[in-house]
Every structure is written in structure tokens, then in C-alpha cells.
């Protein structure tokens, strides 16, 4: 019997004035991910918590937050396979003050954490990276923050490689985002890492947001590209194809999902997604093949897992969409 996937504690740490959008949007992404997992009969993956040095505080827009949990002992003492993410969020202001009692308590707690990739990880949103820096968690690491705080971050932690003009930066076990709505991008990326690209795409579509494929790639993830529309039937088809790109799809079968004719579905794809349905399918299959190659699969196995009929079809799609190198090169990089 397969082992149950690890339930990840996600602890949002709130101080007085914490920016509401910094934590509310990412928390909603996790809630929707759990909701979509339950809908498929899978267990939820995220246990969302809100903690603070004090049980009551006030958010950036004046909302009163009560009943907050105390800063917890982490990781959870429920077995060797436990995992937790600590999420630090920003606050308004030109600089981030650290002289309040609540902030001092938080920094003391942060300094006691033992970060470890896959077990206890730190996610910072906006100026939350300044709190991490003051606690010493960014020494020798790469990180980003809101562009108004880049110089402040450099001054607080000279040993940190501060990266500007990035949506988010990954340096496990530390993950940092540039601010406000980019916290949603970062959490969607972590959902993809944890639960798969297809689920992250469904969460993003539900939230009507765009997801970048990665911190260095300006292109949209193939699982989310062509989805900047609000046509429910077309989203239903795209959800189905993204969940199982290797299935025996053709336009009539896609049309059955949309409850329309094949000809009308083609018109919907072109009008709302800007791509033909079979071209969309090939792009998703190519993305699935890339993921398989990156995980160590051979070219033949990657073609099989992603729904291409042969190595030749995979190579043809690879060049058709202008990817650099070849599938063999990607397989070699994964093995090397």
C-alpha cells in the first residue's frame, strides 16, 4: 500500500500591521489546493495555521485578528516525516522596524529554527525577507524582496545575494518573493512542486491569476498558458487535458468534455485561447515530457509517459516549439 503523502504545516506568522494581501492570497491558494484534492478523493496536503507573538493583532487595513496561535515548536513532533513551512509577510512603511516587543519575540523565535529543505522551510513575502535577514536566516543565501526594500535588505544582511527584478527566488530551504501578489505566485510554485503542475494550474485558474513557470523564466507555464479567459467550458477541457495529457485525446473527445461539437470547440480554442486544440495538446505533452526528462526518464520513456507515440514525435514537437537543444540533451543533463 502506498504511504500517505506528508501533511505540511503552513504557519503564517503575523505581526501588527501585517499586509493582509501578503497572507490572505497565499492562504487561499492552499485552501483551494486542498479543496481540489478532496474533490478527487485525495487527502489534503496543507494544514494552514496563523501564529503571532500575541493572540490578538490588527492587520494593515485595520482588520482585527484574534485567536492567533502562539509561535509553535517546529517541525511538528508527529514523526520523522513531518514537514512545515513558515511564511513571513511584509508590513507597510519605507523601512521595517524591529524595535517592537512583538518583532523582537518573533526574531528570537526565528533564530531558534533549524531550517532544512523538505522538512522545515522558510517562505518570505514582500518585506518578510527583512525579518528573515534580521534573524540571520539569509546569510549566504540568495533572496529577493519588494523593490522598495532591496537596498535595505542589502544593508541588513550584506552576506545575502539580493536579487532584484524577480517574481521570486528559490534557495531551499528559503524561498522569497518580491511582494504583495507575488506571494501567490510563490505559493502556486510550491503547490506545483508538492502536488504537481496540473493541480497548481487548477488553483491558479480558480483564482483567475497567472503563474510563471519558474523564477528565471518569463514564460508562462505550459499548464497555464492559453488560459487568460473566462470561458467555463473551455477551462473544463483544459483542466481535463492538463490532468492527463498522455491520454488518447483528439478534438472530438475534447468536445465531449465541453458538451459541444468538435468544430465549435476548435472555434472556442482559437477565439478564447488563441491556439488550436491539438497544438495546445502537443504543448502540454511536451511540458510533461520535459518534467519526465528532468526526473531522469529516458527519451523513450518520456515520450511514452507524456502521450507521444514515439521518440520521433517528441523530437518533432521539441523543435516545433523552439526548445533549445534536444530531448537527449535534457536527459543527459538530468543524469549528469
**Does pTM top 0.75 for this prediction?**
no
Contacts of 21 (CB under 8 A, 6+ apart): 180, 181, 183
From the list 81, 170, 143, the residue with the least C-alpha distance to 118 is 81
Angstrom CA distances, 62 to 20, 51, 125, 322, stand at 10, 18, 20, 50
Q: How many CB atoms lie within 10 A of CB 132?
A: 28
Q: What pLDDT shows up at residue 220?
A: 47
User: pLDDT per residue over 85-128, tens digit each?
Assistant: 999 999 999 899 999 999 999 999 999 999 999 999 999 999 99
Q: Does the pLDDT of residue 78 top 60, yes or no?
A: no
For residues 38-52, give the mean pLDDT.
96
For residues 7-15, give the mean pLDDT.
97
Whether residue 197 contacts residue 223, with contact meaning beta carbons closer than 8 Å, is answered with yes
Whether residue 26 contacts residue 183, with contact meaning beta carbons closer than 8 Å, is answered with yes
From the list 11, 45, 81, the residue with the least C-alpha distance to 191 is 45
Least confident of 28-42, 185-199, 224-238: 224-238
Domains of the chain in sequence order: 8-218 (3.40.50.880), 232-335 (1.10.10.60)
The mean of the pLDDT values for the chain is 89
Amino acid at each position: 500500500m502506498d504511504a500517505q503523502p506528508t501533511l505540511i504545516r503552513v504557519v503564517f506568522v503575523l505581526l501588527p500591521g501585517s499586509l493582509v494581501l501578503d497572507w490572505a492570497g497565499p492562504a487561499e491558494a492552499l485552501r483551494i489546493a486542498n479543496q481540489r484534492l478532496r474533490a478527487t478523493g485525495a487527502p489534503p496536503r496543507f494544514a494552514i495555521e496563523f501564529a503571532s507573538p500575541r493572540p490578538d493583532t490588527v492587520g494593515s487595513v485595520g482588520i482585527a485578528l484574534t485567536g492567533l496561535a502562539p509561535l509553535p515548536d517546529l517541525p511538528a513532533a508527529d514523526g520523522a516525516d513531518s514537514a512545515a513551512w513558515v511564511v513571513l509577510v511584509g508590513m507597510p512603511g519605507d523601512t521595517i522596524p524591529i524595535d517592537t516587543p512583538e518583532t523582537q519575540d518573533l526574531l528570537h523565535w526565528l533564530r531558534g529554527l533549524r531550517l532544512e529543505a523538505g522538512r522545515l522551510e522558510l517562505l518570505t513575502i514582500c518585506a518578510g525577507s527583512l525579518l528573515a535577514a534580521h534573524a540571520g536566516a539569509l546569510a549566504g543565501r540568495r533572496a529577493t524582496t519588494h523593490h522598495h526594500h532591496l537596498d535595505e535588505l542589502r544593508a541588513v544582511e550584506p552576506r545575502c545575494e539580493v536579487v532584484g527584478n524577480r517574481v521570486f527566488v528559490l534557495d531551499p530551504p528559503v524561498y522569497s518573493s518580491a511582494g504583495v501578489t507575488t506571494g501567490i505566485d510563490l505559493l502556486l510554485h510550491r503547490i506545483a512542486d508538492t502536488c504537481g503542475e496540473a493541480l497548481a494550474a487548477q488553483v491558479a485558474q480558480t483564482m483567475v491569476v497567472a503563474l510563471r513557470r519558474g523564477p528565471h523564466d518569463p514564460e508562462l507555464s505550459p499548464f497555464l498558458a492559453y488560459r487568460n479567459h473566462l470561458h467555463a467550458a473551455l477551462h473544463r477541457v483544459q483542466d481535463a487535458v492538463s490532468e492527463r495529457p498522455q491520454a488518447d485525446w483528439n478534438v472530438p473527445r475534447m468536445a465531449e468534455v465541453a458538451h459541444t461539437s468538435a468544430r465549435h470547440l476548435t472555434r472556442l480554442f482559437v477565439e478564447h485561447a488563441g491556439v488550436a486544440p491539438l497544438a495546445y495538446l502537443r504543448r502540454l505533452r511536451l511540458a510533461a515530457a520535459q518534467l519526465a526528462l528532468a526526473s531522469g526518464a529516458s527519451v523513450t520513456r518520456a515520450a511514452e509517459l507524456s502521450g507521444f507515440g514515439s521518440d520521433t514525435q517528441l523530437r518533432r514537437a521539441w523543435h516545433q516549439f523552439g526548445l533549445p537543444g534536444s530531448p537527449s540533451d535534457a536527459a543527459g543533463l538530468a543524469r549528469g
